[in-house]
Amino acid sequence: MKTLLTGGAGYIGSHTAVAMLDAGHDVAVADNYYNSSPEAIRRVEEITGRKVSLYEADVADRSRMMEILRAEMPDCIIHFAGLKAVGESVAMPVEYYRNNIDTTLTLLECMKELGLTNIVFSSSATVYGEDNIPPFTENMPKGVCTNPYGWTKWMQEQILRDAWFAGAGSEKELSVVLLRYFNPVGAHESGLIGEDPQGIPNNLMPYISQVAVGRRDHLTVFGDDYDTPDGTCRRDYIHVMDLAEGHVRAAEYSLGNRGTEVFNLGTGNPYSVLDMVNAFGKACGHPVKYEIGPRRAGDVQDSWANADKAKEVLGWEAKRGIDEICRDAWKWQSGNPQGYGE
Protein backbone atom coordinates (compact mmCIF):
# COMPACT_ATOMS: atom_id res chain seq x y z
CA MET A 1 0.00 0.00 0.00
CA LYS A 2 1.16 3.56 -0.73
CA THR A 3 0.57 5.95 2.15
CA LEU A 4 0.94 9.70 2.54
CA LEU A 5 1.54 10.90 6.10
CA THR A 6 0.74 14.58 6.59
CA GLY A 7 2.72 15.83 9.59
CA GLY A 8 4.76 12.66 9.24
CA ALA A 9 7.97 14.22 10.61
CA GLY A 10 6.27 14.81 13.98
CA TYR A 11 6.21 12.60 17.03
CA ILE A 12 3.42 10.15 16.18
CA GLY A 13 3.90 10.44 12.41
CA SER A 14 7.58 9.46 12.50
CA HIS A 15 6.84 6.38 14.62
CA THR A 16 3.98 5.45 12.31
CA ALA A 17 6.33 5.81 9.34
CA VAL A 18 8.59 3.18 10.94
CA ALA A 19 5.68 0.82 11.58
CA MET A 20 4.34 1.28 8.02
CA LEU A 21 7.73 0.66 6.42
CA ASP A 22 8.34 -2.36 8.67
CA ALA A 23 4.96 -3.73 7.54
CA GLY A 24 6.13 -3.47 3.92
CA HIS A 25 4.11 -0.39 2.90
CA ASP A 26 5.46 2.68 1.08
CA VAL A 27 5.57 6.01 2.88
CA ALA A 28 5.55 9.61 1.66
CA VAL A 29 5.57 12.49 4.14
CA ALA A 30 4.35 16.09 3.76
CA ASP A 31 5.35 18.38 6.61
CA ASN A 32 6.15 22.08 7.02
CA TYR A 33 8.43 21.38 10.03
CA TYR A 34 6.48 23.85 12.17
CA ASN A 35 6.98 21.51 15.12
CA SER A 36 9.46 18.96 13.77
CA SER A 37 12.65 18.41 11.86
CA PRO A 38 13.56 16.47 8.70
CA GLU A 39 16.17 14.77 10.89
CA ALA A 40 13.35 12.59 12.28
CA ILE A 41 12.73 11.18 8.80
CA ARG A 42 16.44 10.63 8.21
CA ARG A 43 16.40 8.50 11.36
CA VAL A 44 13.25 6.66 10.24
CA GLU A 45 15.24 5.67 7.14
CA GLU A 46 18.18 4.62 9.32
CA ILE A 47 15.96 2.42 11.53
CA THR A 48 14.11 0.75 8.66
CA GLY A 49 16.75 0.74 5.93
CA ARG A 50 14.06 2.09 3.57
CA LYS A 51 13.48 5.38 1.75
CA VAL A 52 10.71 7.87 2.48
CA SER A 53 9.50 10.39 -0.14
CA LEU A 54 9.81 13.61 1.81
CA TYR A 55 8.02 16.84 0.83
CA GLU A 56 8.31 20.16 2.61
CA ALA A 57 4.77 21.49 2.32
CA ASP A 58 2.01 23.32 4.11
CA VAL A 59 -0.93 20.94 3.99
CA ALA A 60 -3.29 23.93 3.77
CA ASP A 61 -1.61 24.94 0.47
CA ARG A 62 -3.95 23.46 -2.11
CA SER A 63 -1.81 23.74 -5.22
CA ARG A 64 1.21 22.26 -3.44
CA MET A 65 -0.88 19.38 -2.07
CA MET A 66 -2.39 18.72 -5.52
CA GLU A 67 1.14 18.48 -6.91
CA ILE A 68 2.24 16.04 -4.17
CA LEU A 69 -0.89 13.92 -4.26
CA ARG A 70 -0.77 13.72 -8.06
CA ALA A 71 2.82 12.52 -7.86
CA GLU A 72 2.10 9.97 -5.14
CA MET A 73 -1.56 8.93 -5.66
CA PRO A 74 -1.59 7.24 -2.22
CA ASP A 75 -3.99 4.43 -1.40
CA CYS A 76 -4.43 6.00 2.01
CA ILE A 77 -3.71 9.40 3.57
CA ILE A 78 -3.00 9.53 7.29
CA HIS A 79 -3.65 13.05 8.48
CA PHE A 80 -1.44 13.94 11.47
CA ALA A 81 -0.61 17.54 10.51
CA GLY A 82 -1.95 19.98 13.04
CA LEU A 83 -1.22 22.17 16.02
CA LYS A 84 -1.66 20.35 19.32
CA ALA A 85 -0.73 22.43 22.38
CA VAL A 86 -3.80 22.91 24.56
CA GLY A 87 -2.59 26.05 26.41
CA GLU A 88 -1.35 27.68 23.21
CA SER A 89 -4.73 27.02 21.58
CA VAL A 90 -6.42 29.06 24.31
CA ALA A 91 -4.05 31.96 23.59
CA MET A 92 -4.13 31.58 19.76
CA PRO A 93 -7.55 30.14 18.89
CA VAL A 94 -7.74 31.63 15.40
CA GLU A 95 -4.39 30.12 14.37
CA TYR A 96 -5.53 26.74 15.71
CA TYR A 97 -8.88 26.79 13.93
CA ARG A 98 -7.25 28.07 10.73
CA ASN A 99 -4.46 25.49 10.61
CA ASN A 100 -6.29 22.41 11.82
CA ILE A 101 -9.52 22.95 9.91
CA ASP A 102 -7.87 24.28 6.73
CA THR A 103 -5.51 21.33 6.39
CA THR A 104 -8.46 18.95 6.61
CA LEU A 105 -10.62 20.88 4.13
CA THR A 106 -7.72 21.16 1.69
CA LEU A 107 -7.08 17.43 1.82
CA LEU A 108 -10.76 16.65 1.23
CA GLU A 109 -10.87 18.99 -1.77
CA CYS A 110 -7.74 17.46 -3.28
CA MET A 111 -8.99 13.93 -2.63
CA LYS A 112 -12.26 14.70 -4.40
CA GLU A 113 -10.51 16.19 -7.41
CA LEU A 114 -8.13 13.23 -7.72
CA GLY A 115 -10.62 10.48 -6.84
CA LEU A 116 -8.72 9.45 -3.70
CA THR A 117 -11.01 7.83 -1.15
CA ASN A 118 -9.16 6.74 1.98
CA ILE A 119 -8.26 8.88 4.96
CA VAL A 120 -7.26 8.04 8.53
CA PHE A 121 -7.46 10.94 10.98
CA SER A 122 -5.62 11.70 14.25
CA SER A 123 -8.38 12.52 16.69
CA SER A 124 -8.21 12.57 20.45
CA ALA A 125 -9.93 11.25 23.55
CA THR A 126 -10.47 14.91 24.35
CA VAL A 127 -13.69 14.76 22.22
CA TYR A 128 -15.34 12.68 24.99
CA GLY A 129 -15.41 15.91 27.04
CA GLU A 130 -15.83 16.21 30.77
CA ASP A 131 -19.14 14.49 31.42
CA ASN A 132 -18.72 10.97 30.04
CA ILE A 133 -17.54 8.43 32.64
CA PRO A 134 -14.57 6.21 31.67
CA PRO A 135 -13.94 3.74 30.22
CA PHE A 136 -14.95 5.67 27.10
CA THR A 137 -16.62 3.74 24.28
CA GLU A 138 -16.84 4.97 20.70
CA ASN A 139 -20.64 5.13 20.74
CA MET A 140 -20.81 7.58 23.65
CA PRO A 141 -21.98 11.04 22.58
CA LYS A 142 -19.12 13.46 22.03
CA GLY A 143 -18.81 15.92 24.89
CA VAL A 144 -18.12 19.59 25.44
CA CYS A 145 -14.43 20.41 24.91
CA THR A 146 -12.56 22.66 27.31
CA ASN A 147 -10.28 24.40 24.80
CA PRO A 148 -9.99 25.38 21.10
CA TYR A 149 -7.57 22.52 20.34
CA GLY A 150 -10.19 20.02 21.49
CA TRP A 151 -12.88 21.75 19.44
CA THR A 152 -10.73 21.54 16.30
CA LYS A 153 -10.60 17.75 16.73
CA TRP A 154 -14.34 17.65 17.41
CA MET A 155 -15.04 19.71 14.28
CA GLN A 156 -12.59 17.86 12.04
CA GLU A 157 -14.32 14.60 12.95
CA GLN A 158 -17.64 16.16 11.94
CA ILE A 159 -16.26 17.57 8.67
CA LEU A 160 -14.82 14.20 7.69
CA ARG A 161 -18.04 12.41 8.58
CA ASP A 162 -20.11 14.89 6.54
CA ALA A 163 -17.77 14.52 3.56
CA TRP A 164 -18.21 10.75 3.71
CA PHE A 165 -22.01 11.06 4.08
CA ALA A 166 -22.30 13.20 0.95
CA GLY A 167 -20.85 10.41 -1.19
CA ALA A 168 -22.26 7.42 0.71
CA GLY A 169 -23.46 4.68 -1.60
CA SER A 170 -21.70 6.18 -4.64
CA GLU A 171 -18.67 4.82 -6.44
CA LYS A 172 -16.57 7.52 -4.83
CA GLU A 173 -17.74 6.82 -1.27
CA LEU A 174 -14.98 7.71 1.16
CA SER A 175 -13.41 5.50 3.77
CA VAL A 176 -12.91 7.66 6.85
CA VAL A 177 -11.24 6.20 9.95
CA LEU A 178 -11.25 8.42 13.02
CA LEU A 179 -8.66 7.34 15.58
CA ARG A 180 -9.14 8.69 19.09
CA TYR A 181 -5.77 8.55 20.79
CA PHE A 182 -5.50 8.39 24.55
CA ASN A 183 -2.09 9.49 25.96
CA PRO A 184 0.69 8.62 23.50
CA VAL A 185 4.06 8.31 25.25
CA GLY A 186 7.42 6.54 24.95
CA ALA A 187 9.68 6.22 21.94
CA HIS A 188 10.93 3.73 19.38
CA GLU A 189 12.95 1.05 21.14
CA SER A 190 16.09 2.04 19.19
CA GLY A 191 16.11 5.38 21.04
CA LEU A 192 16.73 7.11 17.68
CA ILE A 193 13.35 8.82 17.43
CA GLY A 194 11.08 10.17 20.16
CA GLU A 195 9.10 13.16 21.35
CA ASP A 196 10.95 16.47 21.05
CA PRO A 197 8.79 19.23 22.56
CA GLN A 198 9.87 22.83 22.00
CA GLY A 199 10.36 24.86 25.20
CA ILE A 200 8.89 23.79 28.52
CA PRO A 201 6.91 20.56 28.06
CA ASN A 202 3.18 20.75 28.79
CA ASN A 203 2.69 17.01 28.98
CA LEU A 204 3.62 14.70 31.79
CA MET A 205 6.01 12.18 30.23
CA PRO A 206 8.31 14.63 28.42
CA TYR A 207 8.44 16.68 31.63
CA ILE A 208 9.39 13.64 33.73
CA SER A 209 12.03 12.68 31.14
CA GLN A 210 13.61 16.13 31.26
CA VAL A 211 13.73 16.07 35.08
CA ALA A 212 15.30 12.61 34.96
CA VAL A 213 18.01 13.77 32.55
CA GLY A 214 18.74 16.91 34.60
CA ARG A 215 17.30 19.52 32.22
CA ARG A 216 14.66 20.54 34.81
CA ASP A 217 14.83 20.50 38.59
CA HIS A 218 11.56 18.82 39.53
CA LEU A 219 8.12 17.86 38.31
CA THR A 220 5.07 19.62 39.71
CA VAL A 221 2.25 17.13 40.20
CA PHE A 222 -0.97 18.95 39.40
CA GLY A 223 -3.09 18.07 42.42
CA ASP A 224 -3.17 15.12 44.83
CA ASP A 225 -6.70 15.68 46.12
CA TYR A 226 -8.64 13.87 43.39
CA ASP A 227 -10.97 11.02 44.21
CA THR A 228 -8.49 8.34 43.09
CA PRO A 229 -6.44 5.77 45.08
CA ASP A 230 -3.37 8.05 45.42
CA GLY A 231 -5.18 11.36 44.85
CA THR A 232 -3.60 12.06 41.42
CA CYS A 233 -5.35 11.94 38.03
CA ARG A 234 -5.48 8.74 36.02
CA ARG A 235 -4.81 8.37 32.29
CA ASP A 236 -4.48 5.67 29.65
CA TYR A 237 -0.81 5.93 28.61
CA ILE A 238 -0.19 4.15 25.33
CA HIS A 239 3.25 3.32 23.92
CA VAL A 240 3.73 5.29 20.71
CA MET A 241 4.81 2.14 18.81
CA ASP A 242 1.57 0.40 19.82
CA LEU A 243 -0.25 3.48 18.57
CA ALA A 244 1.81 3.42 15.35
CA GLU A 245 0.92 -0.24 14.77
CA GLY A 246 -2.72 0.71 15.29
CA HIS A 247 -2.38 3.08 12.32
CA VAL A 248 -1.03 0.29 10.12
CA ARG A 249 -4.07 -1.83 10.94
CA ALA A 250 -6.43 1.14 10.48
CA ALA A 251 -4.99 2.00 7.05
CA GLU A 252 -5.17 -1.65 5.97
CA TYR A 253 -8.76 -1.82 7.21
CA SER A 254 -9.68 1.34 5.29
CA LEU A 255 -8.64 -0.26 1.98
CA GLY A 256 -11.33 -2.90 2.19
CA ASN A 257 -14.10 -0.77 3.67
CA ARG A 258 -16.20 2.30 2.95
CA GLY A 259 -17.94 4.44 5.55
CA THR A 260 -16.91 6.30 8.69
CA GLU A 261 -15.58 4.29 11.63
CA VAL A 262 -14.28 5.51 14.98
CA PHE A 263 -11.72 3.59 17.02
CA ASN A 264 -10.23 4.30 20.41
CA LEU A 265 -6.49 3.66 20.48
CA GLY A 266 -5.73 3.09 24.13
CA THR A 267 -4.74 0.25 26.43
CA GLY A 268 -7.84 0.20 28.64
CA ASN A 269 -5.60 0.47 31.74
CA PRO A 270 -5.51 3.62 33.86
CA TYR A 271 -2.35 4.74 35.68
CA SER A 272 -1.95 7.70 38.02
CA VAL A 273 0.62 10.49 37.77
CA LEU A 274 2.54 8.96 40.69
CA ASP A 275 2.46 5.50 39.06
CA MET A 276 4.24 7.05 36.06
CA VAL A 277 6.75 8.95 38.23
CA ASN A 278 7.62 5.72 40.07
CA ALA A 279 7.85 3.61 36.90
CA PHE A 280 10.17 6.19 35.34
CA GLY A 281 12.37 6.22 38.44
CA LYS A 282 12.80 2.45 38.06
CA ALA A 283 13.66 2.78 34.37
CA CYS A 284 16.27 5.53 34.79
CA GLY A 285 17.78 4.15 37.97
CA HIS A 286 17.13 7.12 40.26
CA PRO A 287 14.00 8.70 41.78
CA VAL A 288 12.37 11.50 39.79
CA LYS A 289 12.09 14.57 42.00
CA TYR A 290 8.58 15.98 42.32
CA GLU A 291 6.49 18.39 44.36
CA ILE A 292 2.75 18.49 44.78
CA GLY A 293 1.17 21.64 43.32
CA PRO A 294 -2.37 22.87 42.70
CA ARG A 295 -4.73 21.30 40.19
CA ARG A 296 -4.33 22.39 36.54
CA ALA A 297 -7.39 24.15 35.10
CA GLY A 298 -9.20 22.01 32.54
CA ASP A 299 -7.86 18.64 33.76
CA VAL A 300 -10.31 15.79 34.00
CA GLN A 301 -9.82 13.39 36.91
CA ASP A 302 -10.00 10.18 34.90
CA SER A 303 -9.65 9.22 31.25
CA TRP A 304 -9.21 5.77 29.85
CA ALA A 305 -10.40 3.75 26.89
CA ASN A 306 -12.57 0.80 26.32
CA ALA A 307 -10.31 -0.65 23.61
CA ASP A 308 -12.52 -3.61 22.63
CA LYS A 309 -13.65 -2.29 19.24
CA ALA A 310 -10.13 -1.91 17.84
CA LYS A 311 -9.37 -5.45 19.00
CA GLU A 312 -12.52 -6.94 17.47
CA VAL A 313 -12.56 -5.03 14.18
CA LEU A 314 -8.90 -4.20 13.54
CA GLY A 315 -7.35 -7.16 15.34
CA TRP A 316 -5.16 -4.67 17.18
CA GLU A 317 -4.36 -4.26 20.85
CA ALA A 318 -1.60 -2.53 22.78
CA LYS A 319 1.16 -4.94 23.76
CA ARG A 320 3.56 -2.74 25.71
CA GLY A 321 3.08 -1.63 29.33
CA ILE A 322 4.37 1.26 31.43
CA ASP A 323 7.75 -0.38 32.07
CA GLU A 324 8.47 -0.56 28.32
CA ILE A 325 7.12 2.98 27.92
CA CYS A 326 9.52 4.35 30.54
CA ARG A 327 12.46 2.22 29.32
CA ASP A 328 12.11 3.51 25.75
CA ALA A 329 11.37 7.11 26.75
CA TRP A 330 14.54 7.04 28.86
CA LYS A 331 16.62 5.54 26.06
CA TRP A 332 15.51 8.37 23.74
CA GLN A 333 15.92 11.13 26.34
CA SER A 334 19.29 9.96 27.69
CA GLY A 335 20.68 9.41 24.17
CA ASN A 336 19.33 12.75 22.89
CA PRO A 337 19.17 15.13 25.89
CA GLN A 338 18.40 18.08 23.58
CA GLY A 339 16.11 16.10 21.26
CA TYR A 340 16.88 16.47 17.54
CA GLY A 341 18.54 19.80 18.30
CA GLU A 342 21.97 18.27 18.85
- For the chain, the straight-line distance linking the first and the last C-alpha, in angstroms and rounded, comes to 34
Q: Report the partner that residue 175 touches, choosing among ligand NAD, ligand UD1, none (CB closer than 5 to 8 A by kind).
A: none
Contact 286, 212 (CB under 8 A): yes
Check binding of 124 to ligand UD1 (CB under 6 A): yes
Check binding of 103 to ligand NAD (CB under 6 A): yes
Closest distance of CB 233 from ligand UD1, Å: 3
Closest distance of CB 9 from ligand UD1, Å: 18
Residue 136's closest CA among 15, 245, 235, 280? 235
Instruction: Name 78's bridge partners.
Output: 5, 120
CB nearer to ligand UD1: give 55 or 128. Answer: 128
Give the C-alpha separation, 60 to 139, whole Å.
31
What mask of x and - would describe binding to ligand NAD in positions 36 to 55, judged by CB under 6 A? x-------------------
Contact 308, 185 (CB under 8 A): no
The catalytic residue among 149, 207, 226, 253 is 149
Our CA dihedral for 211, 303, 238, 13, rounded to 10 degrees, sits at -90
Q: Report the partner that residue 235 touches, choosing among ligand UD1, ligand NAD, none (CB closer than 5 to 8 A by kind).
A: ligand UD1
Contact 300, 224 (CB under 8 A): no
CB nearer to ligand NAD: give 13 or 201. Answer: 13
CB nearer to ligand UD1: give 167 or 231. Answer: 231
Output b/e per residue, 232-270; b: 16+ Cβ within 10 A.
bbbbbbbbbbbbbbbbbbbbbbbeeebebbbbbbbbbbb
Question: Under the rule (CB under 6 A), what is the footprint of ligand NAD?
Answer: 7, 9-13, 31-36, 58-60, 80-84, 99, 103, 122, 124, 181, 184
The residues annotated with a catalytic role in the active site are 149
Binding stretches for ligand UD1 (CB under 6 A): 86, 124, 126, 150, 183, 202-204, 207, 219-222, 233, 235, 273, 296, 298-299, 303
